[in-house]
Amino acid sequence: MTQGHSRRGFIYFGGCAAASFLVPRLAEAGTYLSFAKSLAANPPAGSRYRPDLETELFGLANGYRAQKGKGPLTASQDFLIPARAHAADMMLHNFIGHRASTGQDFDSRMRAFVGDITKYPSMAENAAHDTLGGPADQAKGQRLFQQWVNSPGHAKTLRSLDYFFVSTGVIERQGNIWAVQIFWGKPRAKGLYGTWGLQGG
């Protein structure tokens, strides 16, 4: 099962965002930031993060882009914590999507880490899981990735020229895996609304 979400400028799938929507709610952002950092640092009991499968999915993404005549993405740690945290959140609460169990949507989750999200004019996320049994090996990672390739929206994100960087998070429990890839383009030096908000990740 897969879910995808993307943003370019102020245009969102499902509607348009007004400027007031972009003003961060600092208490909410701070609460989610603590929640996400804790999940990323301490995987839930019986689970573990899988750097090997994270590398596998990154390689598959660039392999797919090469097949489509697109340039490679650069692997980055910048959004590794939010990618891993969201994968763990989906595992813990048995869902696939872009709204955290704590209520934050994709933009709110990213804003908790970077503050002024307008520094990132292009961002997207693909999410999926594979719970079909068998070992959590390279073949399972490839099968999960194929879900994204088979979905027009996710495949479009994978081959988009808007994105230059990707962070990948994968968590495993009892042979099942949950994965998140966060994509973004070249950030602006400064956001459109100054330097308010939380910074760092």
Q: Would you say 125 and 166 are in contact if contact means Cβ atoms under 8 Å apart?
A: no
User: Hey, how many other C-beta atoms are within 10 angstroms of the C-beta on 192?
Assistant: 14
pTM of the predicted structure, to 2 decimals? 0.83
- pLDDT of the residue at 13: 24
pLDDT tens-place string over residues 37-84: 999 999 999 999 999 999 999 999 999 999 999 999 999 999 999 999
Q: Which amino acid is present at 175?
A: G
pLDDT tens-place string over residues 71-127: 999 999 999 999 999 999 999 999 999 999 999 999 999 999 998 899 999 999 999
Q: Which residues contact 61 (CB under 8 A, 6 or more apart)?
A: 73, 145, 158, 166, 168, 181
- pLDDT of the residue at 163: 98
